[in-house]
Every structure is written in C-alpha cells, then in structure tokens.
C-alpha cells in the first residue's frame, strides 16, 4: 500500500507534528510506503529533514499562496502527476489548499484529516467576510472526499452537524516516550537549575503559538492579578505575532517567564507542576496531551476539544479565567503515572497510526 500525503508545507507546528507522527508509525512500524507532496515553499523552521530521515520522499511544487488560492486546477494536475509517478493507492490531504486542489481527483481514493474546527478557526483567522467564503468553499470540497477524519470526538460531532458525509474520528497522538514523567524531586531540582527556572515554588506551564486564538494576553493579565504574594510562576513556551505585546502586558513581572520557541519542551514540562491553556478553539491540542503525558494536571478553557481529553481524568475546565480557584487545584491529589498511562492508552502515536491504517484498508478493499 502506497500513501501520498498532500500538505501545504512542512513548517513546524501542531498539524505538521501530527503528520510526522503518522508517517513515523506507518513507515517505521507498519512498513508502508509514504510519499509527500508540498504545495508551497518551505521556511527556516521547516521539518523537511525530519521527514527525509524517516525515508519519506518529499516532492515540492513551490507554488505561492496566491497561486494555490487562484489556480487549484494546476495544483490538481501536478498532484495527479506525482500520484501516477509514485504509483499511489490513496491520497491523504491535510489543510485547506490541499483539499481544494484534490476535490476533483477521481482516479484515487481520497482521505482528509480535519485538523481544526473549521467553522471557528477559518472565521477567527480571516474575518467574517473572507472567512465565510473560504469556509463554504472548503466544506463544498470536503463533500467530494471518500473519508473525512476528525481529530477528536467533539470535532466529529461538529462536522456531522455541518452535514459533512463520511466523517470518522481518529484521535491525534503523540509519542509518550518523548514526554515522560520525572519522578525524582532531586532530578527536577537539578533540571530547573539547568534551565534557569525558579528553584522554589509552583510552575504553571503553557505552550504553543502566541496568536490571537490562544488568548495569551488575557492569560497574562489574569496571572498578573493573582500572582502577588504567591509562590507561583507562569512559564510560557512558544513564539508568535503577539509575543512582544504579551511581554509588555507582563510588565516585567518576575513571576512570568518567557522562553520562546524551544526544542526541549518535555524538559520544561517535567520541571512544571500544572499546565494551562486559554485557547478559544482547538482541533485536538497536542500541547495538552504532551503536558498530561509528563504528569501535569491540566487547567483548560472549557472548549469541546479540551473536554475530549480532560473530562475522563477530571481535569479542571473553566469558562472564565476569573473563575479559576488555584487554591483548590493545588490541594488536589494527582497521580502523574495515571495521567501518563491515560495518554498512552488514548492519544498515542500507536492508537493514531492504527486508526489511519484501518481506514486505509477499508478504502482499498
């Protein structure tokens, strides 16, 4: 069985991490042959080499964003040419432009991963006028696919409510061994020292893109309000267009620590005590799964995808940051090993990879 993945690019980020984990499992464990075609040029923060190291062949079309938007028929012909060359059995799409380009391909079975909640994410990113146009175009194209795969149960329900046919669910998955628990207090102390983190006190971690939909400015304002005369610290990992503005809001609060984009996220999580996300919309947050895998108790905005991962472990869900009772949260007894095992059983690379493999087999019967 040969799979052709179609993606806009391989720049670092949640969806590309998911695609990488799928390829890693399909190639390394199930020994399937996976090829990738990218539509747009790569940037400095590309994971291209990581995919090549898996033995995946990557073909780059190099179209600009406007070209992808205006000439999907040209992309379709290029993708069909690549599929013939690779002798592909299934075309697996990820992202808006790949869906638009592949909607009218008929000679191959086609599957698409819906990485977000499109009716929320597209409108939030592009505004009500352009966003509504793009959403209608996207949903129309999705109706032509053989299988539409949501990355969480709540997203599956959403797309069914939008009358999208052939919707299935495969939870996103991480590699839990990359996000282990650090059980030793002595090693945690040494790791905090090595990472230049406070030796004493409670660390609440948050990671991801510093963008509008993640609502970091509101999170920082809340922490500024509650952190006085406390031993709590807010650790923010990641960068984005709102990073500098967030630093200004932090107003040199020594209890707010910005580390930017880091390659050793798991080490920072192992040094922390809790994880918080104030996101307004997620498909299925890999960052939340990574934190729980490291044994961190989750404090999450009450959105559907957060409920998907947190309800079964009694995670703390809030409708408003002002409602959070940190004293109650800190007093709770948490079993980090149980949290890690929960991720292994439900949101791992194995559960995700096997889920896609079963769908591939159904399509190629």
Per residue in 3-38, pLDDT tens? Answer: 999 999 999 888 999 999 999 999 999 999 999 999
Angle at which helix 128-142 crosses helix 118-126, to 10 degrees, equals: 150
* pLDDT, position 120: 82
Per residue in 116-167, pLDDT (tens digit) is: 888 888 887 888 899 899 999 999 999 999 999 999 999 999 999 999 999 9
What mean pLDDT is reported for the chain? Answer: 94
CA end-to-end span of the chain: 11
CA distances from 242 to 210, 216, 239, 299 (A): 5, 8, 8, 22
Region 268-290 average pLDDT: 92
Judge whether residue 208 has pLDDT over 80.
yes
Q: Cα–Cα distance between 258 and 238 in angstroms, integer?
A: 8
pTM of the model: 0.85
Judge whether residue 252 has pLDDT over 90.
no
3-state class (DSSP) for residue 33: strand
Judge whether residue 183 has pLDDT over 80.
no
Q: Which of 110, 169, 186, 182 is CA-nearest to residue 144?
A: 110
Region 192-221 average pLDDT: 94
Judge whether residue 210 has pLDDT over 80.
yes
Region 270-274 average pLDDT: 95
pLDDT above 70 covers what percent of the chain?
100
CA distances from 3 to 30, 34, 95, 191 (A): 12, 5, 16, 41
Per residue in 34-58, pLDDT (tens digit) is: 999 999 999 888 999 999 999 999 9
- How confident is residue 94, by pLDDT bands cut at 50, 70 and 90? very high
HEC-encoded secondary structure of 259-323 = EECCCCHHHHHHCCCEEEECCCCCCCCHHHHHHHHCCCEEEEECCHHHHHHHHHHCCEEECCHHH
pLDDT above 90 covers what percent of the chain?
84
Compute the residue count for the chain.
365
| Residue 212, burial from CB neighbour count under 10 angstroms (0-12, 13-18, 19+) | middle
CA distances from 65 to 68, 77, 120, 165, 310 (A): 5, 17, 21, 28, 36
CA distances from 98 to 82, 158, 231, 272, 283 (A): 14, 21, 48, 38, 18
* pLDDT, position 4: 98
Q: Cα–Cα distance between 365 and 358 in angstroms, integer?
A: 11
Q: Cα–Cα distance between 288 and 293 in angstroms, integer?
A: 9
* pLDDT, position 277: 97
Q: Cα–Cα distance between 154 and 59 in angstroms, integer?
A: 34
Angle at 262 between CA 202 and CA 37, to 5 degrees: 135
Could you give the count of Cα atoms lying within 13 Å of 109 in the half-sphere of its Cβ?
A: 16
Q: Cα–Cα distance between 339 and 333 in angstroms, integer?
A: 12
The set of residues, in sequence order, having a beta carbon less than 8 Å from that of 320 and lying 6+ positions away, is: none
- Determine which helix (DSSP H) or strand (DSSP E) holds 112, and give its type and residue range: strand 109-114
Q: Which of 123, 136, 135, 171 is CA-nearest to residue 150?
A: 171
* pLDDT, position 123: 82
Neighbours of 269 (CB within 10 A): 26
Judge whether residue 281 has pLDDT over 90.
no
CA distances from 282 to 193, 277, 309 (A): 33, 10, 12
Angle at 307 between CA 301 and CA 309, to 5 degrees: 110
* pLDDT, position 14: 82
Q: For 29-92, where are the alpha helices, taking DSSP H only?
A: 48-53, 65-70, 72-86
* pLDDT, position 77: 97
- Determine which helix (DSSP H) or strand (DSSP E) holds 129, and give its type and residue range: helix 128-142
Region 174-197 average pLDDT: 90
């Amino acid at each position: 069985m040969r799979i052709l993945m179609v993606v806009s690019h391989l720049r670092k980020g949640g969806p590309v991490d998911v695609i990488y984990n799928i390829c890693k499992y399909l190639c390394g464990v199930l020994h399937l042959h996976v090829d990738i075609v990218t539509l747009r040029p790569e940037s400095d923060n590309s994971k291209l080499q990581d995919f090549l190291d898996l033995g995946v062949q990557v073909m780059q079309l190099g179209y600009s964003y406007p070209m992808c938007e205006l000439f999907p028929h040209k992309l379709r012909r290029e993708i069909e040419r690549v599929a013939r060359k690779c002798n592909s059995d299934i075309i697996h799409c990820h992202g808006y432009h790949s869906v638009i380009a592949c909607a009218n391909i008929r000679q191959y079975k086609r599957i698409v991963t819906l990485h977000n909640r499109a009716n929320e994410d597209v409108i939030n990113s592009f505004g009500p006028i352009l966003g509504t146009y793009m959403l209608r175009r996207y949903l129309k194209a999705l109706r032509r696919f053989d299988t539409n795969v949501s990355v969480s149960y709540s997203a599956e329900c959403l797309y069914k409510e939008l009358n999208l046919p052939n919707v299935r669910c495969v939870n996103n998955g991480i590699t839990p061994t990359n996000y282990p628990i650090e059980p030793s207090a002595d090693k945690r102390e040494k790791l905090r020292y090595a990472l230049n983190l406070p030796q004493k006190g409670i660390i609440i971690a948050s990671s991801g893109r510093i963008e509008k939909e993640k609502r970091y400015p509101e999170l920082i304002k809340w922490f500024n309000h509650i952190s006085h005369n406390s031993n709590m610290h807010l650790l923010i990992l990641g960068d984005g267009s709102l990073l500098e503005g967030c630093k200004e809001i932090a107003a040199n609060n020594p209890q707010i620590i910005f580390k930017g984009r880091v390659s050793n996220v798991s080490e920072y999580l192992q040094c922390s005590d809790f994880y918080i996300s104030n996101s307004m919309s997620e498909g299925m947050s890999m960052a939340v799964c990574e934190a729980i895998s490291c044994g961190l108790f989750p404090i999450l905005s009450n959105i559907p995808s957060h409920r998907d991962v947190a309800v079964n472990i009694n995670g703390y869900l809030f409708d408003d940051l002002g409602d959070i009772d940190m004293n109650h949260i800190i007093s709770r007894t948490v079993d980090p090993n149980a949290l890690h095992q929960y991720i292994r059983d439900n949101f791992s690379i194995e559960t995700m990879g096997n889920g896609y493999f079963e769908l591939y087999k159904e399509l190629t019967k």
